[in-house]
């Protein structure tokens, strides 16, 4: 066989292989599309059936344990669960009993392989939030797969299974930062039930400065229980790690109230600009006008972020706008810029322009509009 014939044969072979691959891709897309459409039809039918059962109990005779392994049924069940509250969930319990879904998905989760089915099972149990799944989810808080641990914690939090709080806290030191962050999100779902276990943990570990501590402190802010304010304020005097200090300041801005002002005033004198900037923002969250002198000093801080946060906080306080307008006459360019930016962000610039156009402006309007439209060299 000549070289030419060999080349032709190779080209024909390559063409045949390419054509076969193309046909395979087309067939695969067709099969997947057909399966997806069939799944969507089943999902719609299950939604209709479950909705009918919720409205008129007793419409689930056609459901059996076979549906417990159908992803379309599970998705429909989760969709319905997300819309239900109160006594309506009792009707959903009947569906779970009839299909034995909790037992089926628990068995899937306890199996070692395949991983995809295990993940699907733990997510399903977490989303449904039935208390009968608490035992199996507790078993998997130390699962070898991080995502399984995360979803187990989330499911226990959704069902407010409070014995899980201490177990989750005990695992914090052994987890990666990613898992710690997700665990913290789950703890927030427990609400006030998690406040004092979290507070006790923070008291013991607040000097460590790892990601878990800062996340837990912020969880207290998400929960928003003001009773932890004095405890966090006390820790602010002793903590050394800057990241933990920032998390404490941020949370005190949410839950601290007026009792947090004293330690926060001390933090406003910190040598670290990050602490000063976060303190200024916390003052704005608390909203007490007594901090106006401290924020006024912050307008001339060396840090841009501290100046910006101080000006933004002043814009939200009663009497703070007067301080910002006065700062437009400051000899310091950076103070003037911070004040002008805060006034513009608070809507004062637009209001001043409207009053100018209507002919009812005052000298402050002229000063603000004039400052914002001056060239940089002229402003300096």
152 vs 126: CA distance, rounded Å: 7
255 vs 250: CA distance, rounded Å: 9
What average pLDDT does the segment 272-276 reach?
Answer: 97
The answer to pTM > 0.85 is: no
Confidence of residue 2 (pLDDT cuts 50, 70, 90): confident
Query: What value does the mean pLDDT of the chain take?
Result: 91
Domains 44-54+65-161 and 268-380 share a fold: yes
Query: In this model, does residue 17 exceed pLDDT 70?
Result: yes
Dump pLDDT digits (tens) for 50-106.
888 888 777 677 788 888 889 999 999 999 988 877 656 778 888 899 899 999 999
Q: Does domain 268-380 correspond to CATH entry 1.10.287.70?
A: no
- Identify whether the C-beta of residue 165 lies closer than 8 Å to the C-beta of residue 201: no
Dump pLDDT digits (tens) for 193-252.
999 999 999 998 888 766 688 999 999 999 999 999 999 999 999 999 999 999 999 999
What is the Cα Rg of the chain in Å?
Answer: 31
**CB burial of residue 138 (10 Å; 0-12, 13-18, 19+):** middle
What average pLDDT does the segment 183-194 reach?
Answer: 95
Helices vs. strands in the chain: H and E counts, helices first = 22, 0
352 vs 301: CA distance, rounded Å: 27
> What secondary structure letter does DSSP report for 57?
S
Structurally, at CATH architecture level, domain 44-54+65-161 sits in Alpha Horseshoe (1.25)
Domain boundaries, the chain: 44-54+65-161, 191-265, 268-380
């Amino acid at each position: 066989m000549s070289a030419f014939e060999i080349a032709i044969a190779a080209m024909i072979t390559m063409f045949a292989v390419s054509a076969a691959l193309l046909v395979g891709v087309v067939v695969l897309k067709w099969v997947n599309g057909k399966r997806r459409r069939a799944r969507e039809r089943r999902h719609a039918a299950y939604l209709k059936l479950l909705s009918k059962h919720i409205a008129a109990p007793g419409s689930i005779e056609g459901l059996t344990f076979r549906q417990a392994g159908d992803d379309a049924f599970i998705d429909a069940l989760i969709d319905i669960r997300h819309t239900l509250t109160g006594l309506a969930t009792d009707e959903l319990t009947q569906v779970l009993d009839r299909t034995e879904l909790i037992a089926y998905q628990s068995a899937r989760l306890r199996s070692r392989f395949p991983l995809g089915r295990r993940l699907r099972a733990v997510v399903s149990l977490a989303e449904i939030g039935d208390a009968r799944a608490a035992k199996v989810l507790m078993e998997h808080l130390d699962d070898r797969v991080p995502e399984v641990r995360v979803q187990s914690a989330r499911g226990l939090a959704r069902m407010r299974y409070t014995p899980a709080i201490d177990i989750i806290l005990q695992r914090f030191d052994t987890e990666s930062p990613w898992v710690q962050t997700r665990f913290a999100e789950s703890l927030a779902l427990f609400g006030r039930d998690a406040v004092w276990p979290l507070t006790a943990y923070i008291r013991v570990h607040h000097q460590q400065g790892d990601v878990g501590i800062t996340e837990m402190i912020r969880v207290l802010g998400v929960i928003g229980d003001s009773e932890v304010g004095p405890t966090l304020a006390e820790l602010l005097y002793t903590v050394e790690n800057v990241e933990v200090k920032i998390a404490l300041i941020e949370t005190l801005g949410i839950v601290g109230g007026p009792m947090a002002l004293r330690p926060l005033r001390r933090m406003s004198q910190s040598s670290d600009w990050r602490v000063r900037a976060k303190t200024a923002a916390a003052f704005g969250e608390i909203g007490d006008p007594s901090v106006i002198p401290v924020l006024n000093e912050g307008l001339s801080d060396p840090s841009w972020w501290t100046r910006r946060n101080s000006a933004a906080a002043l814009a939200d306080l009663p009497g703070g706008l007067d301080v910002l307008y006065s700062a437009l006459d400051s000899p310091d360019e950076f103070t003037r810029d911070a004040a002008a930016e805060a006034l513009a962000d608070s809507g004062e610039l637009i209001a001043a322009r409207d009053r100018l156009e209507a002919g009812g402006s005052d000298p402050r309007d002229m000063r603000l509009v004039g400052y914002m439209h001056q060239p940089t060299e002229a402003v300096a």
